[in-house]
Structure formats: C-alpha cells, structure tokens
Structure 1
Amino acid sequence: MSAAGPGLTPELFWLLMTAILAALLWVPFIVLSSRPADAPFQSFARMARISEMSDITQRAYRAHLNLLEQFLPFAVVVLIAHLAGVSNGLTLAACAAFFWLRIAHAVGFIAGFARMPLRPLLFTGGWVCILAIAAAILLA
C-alpha cells in the first residue's frame, strides 16, 4: 500500500486505517444493544448491564474493547518509529498485518466463529506485530 498523501508513510497509513476501525467498531455494539430483544437497554437511561445482553452484543462490546487494548501500544510504536525515521519492510509488513489481524479478530469475535484457539492466535498475532515494530526501532 502506498502512502495516501504527502508525509503519510505506509506505516502511518495503516495506523490511520486502524484508528478508523477503532472509531467504527463501537457501531455493532450500539446497533445490537438497540435491538428489540434488548429492549431494557434502548432508552440508555441507565448503564447497560453487558452480562444481560445477547451473546452477540456482548461479543461486539468485547471486540471493541479488545481492539482498544492493542491500539494504544500499536499507535505508540508506529509514532515512535515515524519520529525516529525507522521505516523498512518489517515495519510496513507488521503495520499491515496488524490491521488485517484486527479486522479478522473483530469479524470473527462478533460473528462468534473465532473461538479457541483462533481468537487468541489472532490477538497474539497483533501483539507480535507490535513487538516487531518495537524491535525494529530498538535495533535501528
């Protein structure tokens, strides 16, 4: 993937795409928690009790939180790499892989087909991408 604009490196492009994913991933939870089956939660008059919602609604909630758990360290290492001028095949591959792993994780988690051991493997893949970028920075 080439840079999308001036000053936007491929790594920053993938960071931007992941930020957009994180900004959109709350939508499935809101849509699912507003369904008639979850009628007590439609008014938003009180804090939702996630444990009382449908399984798919709970999975959508967790998928969003799970992405946010990995997004912060991913964003930090990508920004440090950018500021340090570290950009190579490893950082590009790790950034792209991180994004696609997070897509697969979210879709699989919400749909319910990414179960043991697939979901933890997808999460671990993202973690390895973060560590690979950090290693590229430290070894530069």
Structure 2
Amino acid sequence: MTAELRYLAYTALLTASLWIPYIICQVQTNGLLTPANYADPAPRPVPLWGTRANRAHINAVETFAPFAALILIAHVAGKENAMTAFWAISFFWLRVIHAVVYLAGAPFVRTLAFVLGFVAVCGLFWEVVR
C-alpha cells in the first residue's frame, strides 16, 4: 500500500471517530437517549466543548471528500510521488492538530491548521493536474 492510501485510511478513521467526543459530552450532560429523543431530534444543550467537538467532526467530514478524491485520482492516474506522499501525510497530521485544538478551544492554532490543511489539498491538486 502506498503512503497516500495509508494516510487516506488513517484520515478516514480519524474522521469517522470524531463523533465520539460529542456523544460523550451529550451523555455526560444529558444522560442516555430516550425514545422521546428519537421522536424529537432537536439538539439538546451541551457545554461549549461539546459544541466544539460537534463542529470539529462536521469540519472533518467536509474536508475529507476533496482530500479523498485527490488521493484516489493520484493513485488511479499513477501520479503518486514524493510530493503527493508529503501532502497526504501533512494533511493527516494537520487534521489531528485541528481536531485537538478545536476541542481545546485554541482559535488561532485551529485556523492555522485548517489553512495549512487546505494548502495540502491544493498541493495534491497541483500534483494531480500537472
């Protein structure tokens, strides 16, 4: 397996796992779901860290699709190289940093990690189209 596909798998697992802090917050704050919660899916109040956890998960889902598409295009087109590996590895670690600092409420580091993650996606795009 190439580094790009390996880090795509890592990023998929990270993205798929980021709902867990939000659910932990929901259970700690509001208890387990009851049948009424399924009939009325209105969000229940949570502390700020729970809201940040939910938003971190949503953000990860939103950024995963372009990253995954570019990794798969690079693989199928035979355009994987040292730079695509660098961008894939960078994207994964920047998403880890983004999630951690989002949960911690560190605004400027979170923004920097997000922007650098976007730069990684742009780098992948460049490698695919050139």
Same fold (TM over 0.5): yes
Instruction: Determine the C-alpha separation between the residues in 2 that align with 1:29 and 1:48.
Output: 15
Unaligned runs of 5+ in 2: none
Matches within 5 A, 1:1-140: 8-35=1-28, 37-39=29-31, 42-43=33-34, 44-45=37-38, 46-49=40-43, 52-112=45-105, 114-115=106-107, 117-139=108-130
Instruction: Determine the C-alpha separation between the residues in 2 that align with 1:132 and 1:86.
Output: 13
Unaligned runs of 5+ in 1: 1-7
Superposed CA offset, 1:79-136 (max 9, x none): 0000000111111111001000000110111122x21x22111111111111101100
Identity of aligned residues (%): 38
Quick check: which one's helix share is greater? 2
- With normalisation by structure 1, the TM-score equals 0.85
Shift of 1:76: 0.3
Question: Which has the higher relative contact order, 1 or 2, with Cα contacts under 8 A spaced 6 or more apart?
Answer: 2
Instruction: Determine the C-alpha separation between the residues in 1 that align with 2:46 and 2:3.
Output: 39
Where has structure 1 moved over 6 Å in runs of 4 or more?
Answer: none
Residue pair 1:109, 1:119 contacting (<8 A) in 2 also: yes
SS at match of 1:34: helix
Q: CA RMSD in A?
A: 1.4
Instruction: Determine the C-alpha separation between the residues in 2 that align with 1:13 and 1:107.
Output: 21
